[in-house]
Amino acid sequence: MPKKTCPNGHIYDSNIYGDECPLCPKDGNSTQFNSKQDFGMPPFDQAPDSAYRTRVAPPAGMPQQGAMGSPVMGGMDAAGETRFPGQQQSAQRPVNGTIIRQPKGVPTAQGRKLVGFLVTYNRDPLGKSYNIYEGKNFIGRDRSCDICVPEDKQMSGRHMSLLYRNVDNKFKYRDEQSSNGTFVNKELSDEGELKNYDIIRLGSTVFIFIAIPQIG
Residue 86 placed within a domain: no
Query: How many domains in the chain?
Result: 2
Identify the pLDDT of residue 11.
80
Residue 59 placed within a domain: no
* Partners of residue 174 on adjacent β-strands: 161, 191
Identify the pLDDT of residue 67.
45
Domain span at residue 12 reads 1-28
Residue 103 placed within a domain: no
Report the CATH number that the domain containing residue 195 is assigned in CATH. 2.60.200.20
Contact indicator for 143, 150 with CB cutoff of 8 Å: yes
Rounded to two decimals, what is the model's pTM? Answer: 0.51
45, 116, 119, 125, 210 from 185: Cα distances, Å:
100, 18, 15, 21, 14
Element of type H or E holding 15: helix 14-17
Identify the pLDDT of residue 216.
66
Identify the pLDDT of residue 162.
98
Identify the pLDDT of residue 86.
58
Residue 183 placed within a domain: yes
49: three-class secondary structure by DSSP = helix
Residue 191 placed within a domain: yes
150, 152, 165 from 175: Cα distances, Å:
18, 17, 18
Contact indicator for 63, 71 with CB cutoff of 8 Å: yes
Identify the pLDDT of residue 61.
61
Residue 96 placed within a domain: no
Sign of CA dihedral 149, 151, 152, 154: positive
Residue 6 placed within a domain: yes
Identify the pLDDT of residue 4.
77
pLDDT (tens, 9 = 90+) of the chain, 216 residues, equals 677 788 887 887 777 777 788 778 766 554 444 544 555 555 555 555 555 565 666 666 655 554 444 444 555 665 565 565 555 555 455 456 555 454 454 455 678 999 999 999 999 999 999 999 999 999 999 999 999 999 999 999 999 999 999 999 999 999 999 999 999 999 999 999 999 999 999 999 999 999 999 886
